[in-house]
Structure 1
Amino acid sequence: MKILATDYDNTLKRKKVTKQDLAAIDKFRREGNKFGIVTGRSINMIKTSLNYFHVKYDFIVGINGGIILDDQNNILDYHLFDYQTALAIIGDLYDLNNDICGFCDGIRYTRLAFKKKPFNFIRAFVLGLRASRRRKILKTEKIASFFILNDNPDQVKRVYDHFTNHYDNISVFLNGNDIVDISAKDVSKSAAVKFIADYYRADKVYTIGDSMNDIDMITAFNGFAVSTAEDEIKEVAEAVFNDFKELIDYIDNDQSDKHLWKGK
């Protein structure tokens, strides 16, 4: 059995998810393989988009590996911040001048800041940013991820450097040119895919992405990049594909041992 784990934004969804890609994924799954999404989004945010584009899946990895669900919404793995660390991060985020930032429990998210710029309203709609009440999440003391969005690349770097340099018990990810994601320590997309590979007892594992927060799962599994990926991703990718039909055709005919799951 083969596993295909893909990033979502700008990888599977590039403006939209095409009917050709959906058909290729459906064929892949009907042949007894497992297909899933590995994203920086929270579960509610990614499900909103998957439902809109009619994407069927066997698993979802949310918040860069912080939470894993199967297709029946069972939580397979879940990583939370130490609550005092989470409160310290919230304090830092209030001091930093971000366009949009917030946190989530893995499923729901809430905002800490939202500058009322026209593009921010568009971005919130596209990403499915439907906020829960902050107090509801804080009351549970379950915080699994933070996200920060900024239009200014210098501010993005400042935020990334701040959390990378001031904390040694968290994981910090650059997601494209305008997003920083923060998760609990040792959380990563590659660790989540390894969990999935063991859980489903995979024979072969394939990964694909486009951005810096995908690089660990690409290098760990000799993975791939989409043709619109950042140059740094293409440089480390085993191959570059234009769409998922092309990718899955390759997987169907792959006779190499490059993608054998070593955990078997």
Structure 2
Amino acid sequence: MKALASDFDGTLYFEDGIKENDQQAIVHFQKHHLFGLCTGRPLIGVQHYLKDCIQPDFYIVSSGACILDKECHVLYEQTISKEIMKAIYQQYHQKAEVSIQADFRIYTLMKDSKIPIAQTYVESIDCIGDEHIFGLSINAVHEQQAKEWTHDLNETYKEIIAFQNKEYIDIVKRGCSKGEAVKKLKELLHLDMVYGIGDSYNDIPMLESADCSFTFHDSPQIVQEKATHIVSSISEAIKMIED
């Protein structure tokens, strides 16, 4: 059995939605193989955009901290402690917008949040439960700032790992990544081949761990160097897989 794990933002989903050619190719691909997501977003951050469009066979969400099957049953999860979550929030919330991924929701303490994903507003960080905290996301606004903060986070906190996704930073338990999740998925679903496709820095672990990987002509050079093939779209990648 073959499976294709796809990043979401900038790979499958764009400002004008999911490309029709990609949607058609994915539906055809799923007749014989598996297609799923491998994203830094939590589950709630993708479901709305896929409704009546694509039904993934699996979900790798929160940068590999959680893997779910097609019915959204948890197959694997790794969480961070509330103490670490609070420490990181306290360090960055006055500099940038920080959201917390927990209990399959996205929590924010900002009423006028600029993040374009359905979020749950809470008045205090203590309103968030102690369990199922998958991670945090920081909107650093600028890519250079995100790069610097990603480095600082990884140097300061040994319990977590931070991944830069352009101007955003995704933070999960150390040992988690899209790449480790792809390996785990292959084991859990007894897959023969796992393909990966993504467009940004946080996709590099997935591109390295997949049996064969794809990225785009306009991806950063370092991302292109990690991919097996450079393509223009998911539909082109699927055609190469099926040929």
Q: Same fold (TM over 0.5)?
A: yes
- Aligned equivalents of 1:170, 1:36: Cα separation in 2: 25
User: How far apart are residue 12 of structure 1 and its match?
Assistant: 1.2
With over 3 angstroms needed to count, the CA separation of the structure-2 counterparts of 1:60 and 1:208, relative to structure 1, is same
User: How far apart are residue 132 of structure 1 and its match?
Assistant: 4.4
In 2, are the aligned partners of 1:37 and 1:60 still within 8 Å (CA)? yes
| More deviation, 197-206/209-218 | 197-206
For residue 61 of structure 1, give the secondary structure of its aligned residue in structure 2. strand
1:186 corresponds to: 175
**1:49-198 equivalent positions in 2, closer than 5 A:** 49-51=49-51, 54-94=53-93, 96-98=94-96, 100-105=97-102, 107-113=104-110, 121=114, 124-125=115-116, 128-133=117-122, 138-176=128-166, 178-198=167-187
User: How far apart are residue 54 of structure 1 and its match?
Assistant: 1.2
With over 3 angstroms needed to count, the CA separation of the structure-2 counterparts of 1:163 and 1:113, relative to structure 1, is farther
User: How far apart are residue 71 of structure 1 and its match?
Assistant: 1.0
Please tell me the residue identity of whatever aligns with 2:10. Answer: N
Which structure 1 segments of 5+ residues have no match? Answer: 254-264
Q: Does 1:246 align with 2:236?
A: yes
- Aligned equivalents of 1:137, 1:62: Cα separation in 2: 23
- Aligned equivalents of 2:219, 2:177: Cα separation in 1: 19
1:27 corresponds to: 28
Q: Does 1:218 align with 2:207?
A: yes
- Aligned equivalents of 1:204, 1:30: Cα separation in 2: 16
For residue 218 of structure 2, give the secondary structure of its aligned residue in structure 1. coil
With over 3 angstroms needed to count, the CA separation of the structure-2 counterparts of 1:224 and 1:154, relative to structure 1, is closer
With over 3 angstroms needed to count, the CA separation of the structure-2 counterparts of 1:246 and 1:152, relative to structure 1, is closer
- Aligned equivalents of 1:240, 1:169: Cα separation in 2: 34
With over 3 angstroms needed to count, the CA separation of the structure-2 counterparts of 1:157 and 1:204, relative to structure 1, is closer
Please tell me the residue identity of whatever aligns with 1:97. Answer: K
Which structure 2 segments of 5+ residues have no match? Answer: none
For residue 144 of structure 1, give the secondary structure of its aligned residue in structure 2. strand
For residue 13 of structure 2, give the secondary structure of its aligned residue in structure 1. coil
- Aligned equivalents of 1:156, 1:242: Cα separation in 2: 27
TM-score, normalization by structure 1: 0.84
**1:198-209 equivalent positions in 2, closer than 5 A:** 198-209=187-198
- Aligned equivalents of 1:85, 1:132: Cα separation in 2: 20
User: How far apart are residue 29 of structure 1 and its match?
Assistant: 0.7
Q: Does 1:36 align with 2:20?
A: no
> What is the count of residue pairs matched by the alignment?
240
For residue 18 of structure 2, give the secondary structure of its aligned residue in structure 1. coil
In 2, are the aligned partners of 1:174 and 1:212 still within 8 Å (CA)? yes
In 2, are the aligned partners of 1:36 and 1:61 still within 8 Å (CA)? yes
- Aligned equivalents of 2:92, 2:179: Cα separation in 1: 27
User: How far apart are residue 245 of structure 1 and its match?
Assistant: 2.1
- Aligned equivalents of 2:67, 2:127: Cα separation in 1: 19
> What percent of counterpart residues are identical?
26
In 1, are the aligned partners of 2:57 and 2:70 still within 8 Å (CA)? yes
Larger Cα Rg: Structure 1 or Structure 2? 1
* Structure number with higher helix proportion: 1
With over 3 angstroms needed to count, the CA separation of the structure-2 counterparts of 1:245 and 1:139, relative to structure 1, is closer
| More deviation, 152-161/16-25 | 152-161
TM-score, normalization by structure 2: 0.91
With over 3 angstroms needed to count, the CA separation of the structure-2 counterparts of 1:106 and 1:212, relative to structure 1, is farther
User: How far apart are residue 152 of structure 1 and its match?
Assistant: 3.1
| More deviation, 42-51/58-67 | 42-51
User: How far apart are residue 105 of structure 1 and its match?
Assistant: 1.0
* Structure number with higher strand proportion: 2
In 1, are the aligned partners of 2:39 and 2:60 still within 8 Å (CA)? yes
In 2, are the aligned partners of 1:108 and 1:132 still within 8 Å (CA)? no
- Aligned equivalents of 2:192, 2:132: Cα separation in 1: 35
